A and B are shown apart, each in its own frame.
Chain A
Amino acid sequence: AQRVTQPEKLLSVFKGAPVELKCNYSYSGSPELFWYVQYSRQRLQLLLRHISRESIKGFTADLNKGETSFHLKKPFAQEEDSAMYYCALSGQGAQKLVFGQGTRLTINP
């Protein structure tokens, strides 16, 4: 069965501090992993995906197959990073996504 777990419902850090949002998954094959973000009063949108191996808005995420994790990291948090973050998984050849419960990130000034 496919499952995505985000252990932290709420995460609060100060501006300029490093931030890490945790994501663990369960899938027997080779998954495709995503991070989606929902800013206040905006639509849910893709932040980044593991196959792109790119940094978006200073965020990076590395797929660790040994630990079945896809944690989202940013070295220096900014106030505009405050949002709801969802980790999602797509199985091989599948179109549908399985989402985690979400983590609400708050950056304090």
Chain B
Amino acid sequence: DGGITQSPKYLFRKEGQNVTLSCEQNLNHDAMYWYRQDPGQGLRLIYYSQIVNDFQKGDIAEGYSVSREKKESFPLTVTSAQKNPTAFYLCASSIRRGGNNEQFFGPGTRLTVL
């Protein structure tokens, strides 16, 4: 089963610790995204990257950081500065060519801060 993979599925963190969520895709997509999904709030964009070595802040970037060193990988670090990190995190990717904006999603990582 290819496509987009996220690991781990569940993650527990103590307050004050940084944690990194993994996202990998083998779809040869240029663009990748990180969303946070909270009940009643839909999906909110944290960061996105349209090309390797470049990324932009989304609507709720504070307390998060990303890197895009390889086309296939877009890890998200949740830092201790994020005030309310407990949430479900979704990674997605899309092809840029031809104006096709369909995004393909990973299975998600549920982060719980203890």
Interface residues of chain A, those whose CB is within 8 Å of chain B, are 4, 6, 9, 32, 34, 43-46, 49, 86, 90, 94-102
Contacts and interface: CB of A to CB of B under 8 A. Distances in A.
Contacts of B78: none
Contacts of B107: 43
Interface string B85-114: 000001010101000011111111000000
A69 B92 CA distance: 25
B42 interface: yes
A103 to B, nearest CB: 10
Q: Is the interface of B mostly helix, strand, loop or mixed?
A: strand
B58 A96 contact: yes
A4 B90 CA distance: 19
Interface string B45-81: 1001010000000100000000000000000000000
Contact of A46 (B41, B96, B102): B102
A44 B37 CA distance: 11
A81 B100 CA distance: 26
Specify which of B92, B101, B107, B108 lies most central, judged by the most chain A CB atoms within 10 Å of its CB. Answer: B101
Contacts of A45: 104-105
14 contacts: A34-B102, A43-B105, A43-B107, A43-B108, A45-B105, A86-B42, A90-B101, A94-B101, A95-B50, A97-B45, A97-B103, A99-B44, A101-B40, A102-B40
